[in-house]
Structure 1
């Protein structure tokens, strides 16, 4: 049984519960919730609090088109902001499989460098989401962040700043983080990431190729 040690923050789960996360981040959150019993239970508590607050709110007059507008807004929400399905469909967690299919071998990968491959997922413009396939033993170049980045491990593991991140774990990085994650040597690593700003690489070559790789 996989032990998940790195979880979502309360801030992220609250934003997810009220539909305030960009689609890319919602996909990462929904995928983690499908794998993590602890975070899924906490997310349910956030939903319950929101429901209680609505019940305590006073009544307000509604326009004749209020119901139609509400239904239209629900239908326009990205699929990832709706309740997360549990478990896996094939090799990938259910929320992610709905976007890319169940089999990682069928993903349309694009080579990055050093054997690393990526697949950019279709999401809204506020943030980007991608799958990363990183060979065993690979070190990611030193970099910082221009905003928020979530990295969810789906397969394999990596170490970063003395911590180990394995399947189901989420690493939360922001402008305060400068790091160089290293994939463990025994297995390739498959990750789902979301970011709302480009990475800040220290090396010249990563900076030169960054615009072409959209990272």
Structure 2
């Protein structure tokens, strides 16, 4: 898989993930990409190692005698402890299968029009994660961004004004970018898209619909 991935996560995003400062939706897309990409996983491991060294060299502070036992109880009671990426034989990588409750057959798509479908995943309100299904040859309306949008290809491919993005590739867009993603011919495109602000559609109908479609 890694040999075919041409578009990777930036060091800044990987460092933020390592530090635990990303919103849940962005952490999900990073974990999903890392589970598919040996290059980014190795880079992430290096940031995790640096963080461990920093912790070892940090100035110690006095704590109460029951601090350790209290912390261990909190960890045992938590269901949000990070998990190491694991491989999946399905279309959806393992981090996504945990959110969806299975592979593609478990997804309950909702139509957006022109054959495009989506499902919004349950994450914290700081950002929105959605799975997008784009029929081969179909286009997402041209749009800009009011924040950050990250798009990870899970099946097929799409092209826009920037490049071509195939399975495992991730595109990071910000306020300076406008594009019109078009799914490659030959195979329907499925993506995981994460945004921290509404998109800026140029056409009237998408602008009217986005309030109801939460895009």
Structure 1 residue 147 corresponds to structure 2 residue 142 = no
Structure 1 residue 188 corresponds to structure 2 residue 164 = no
**Aligned equivalents of 2:73, 2:155: Cα separation in 1:** 37
Residue 42 of structure 2 corresponds to 41
Matches within 5 A, 1:1-215: 1=1, 3-64=4-65, 66-67=67-68, 68-69=70-71, 72=74, 76=78, 78=80, 82-215=82-215
Task: Assess if the C-alpha contact under 8 Å between 1:156 and 1:167 holds in 2.
Answer: yes
Runs (4+) of structure 1 moved beyond 4 Å?
A: 73-79
**Aligned equivalents of 2:149, 2:73: Cα separation in 1:** 31
Task: Assess if the C-alpha contact under 8 Å between 1:34 and 1:40 holds in 2.
Answer: yes
Task: Assess if the C-alpha contact under 8 Å between 1:84 and 1:95 holds in 2.
Answer: no
Structure 2 residue ranges without an equivalent (≥5)? none
**Aligned equivalents of 1:162, 1:58: Cα separation in 2:** 46
**TM-score, length basis structure 1:** 0.93
Task: Assess if the C-alpha contact under 8 Å between 1:100 and 1:107 holds in 2.
Answer: yes
Report the Cα offset of residue 94 of structure 1.
0.5
**Aligned equivalents of 1:28, 1:77: Cα separation in 2:** 19
Pairwise CA RMSD = 1.8
Task: Assess if the C-alpha contact under 8 Å between 1:118 and 1:130 holds in 2.
Answer: yes
**TM-score, length basis structure 2:** 0.93
Report the Cα offset of residue 106 of structure 1.
2.1
Report the Cα offset of residue 86 of structure 1.
2.4
Task: Assess if the C-alpha contact under 8 Å between 1:8 and 1:170 holds in 2.
Answer: yes
**Aligned equivalents of 1:40, 1:109: Cα separation in 2:** 30
Change in 2 beyond 3 A, CA 1:85/1:63: same
3-state SS of 2:9 partner: coil
Structure 1 residue ranges without an equivalent (≥5)? none
Change in 2 beyond 3 A, CA 1:88/1:118: same
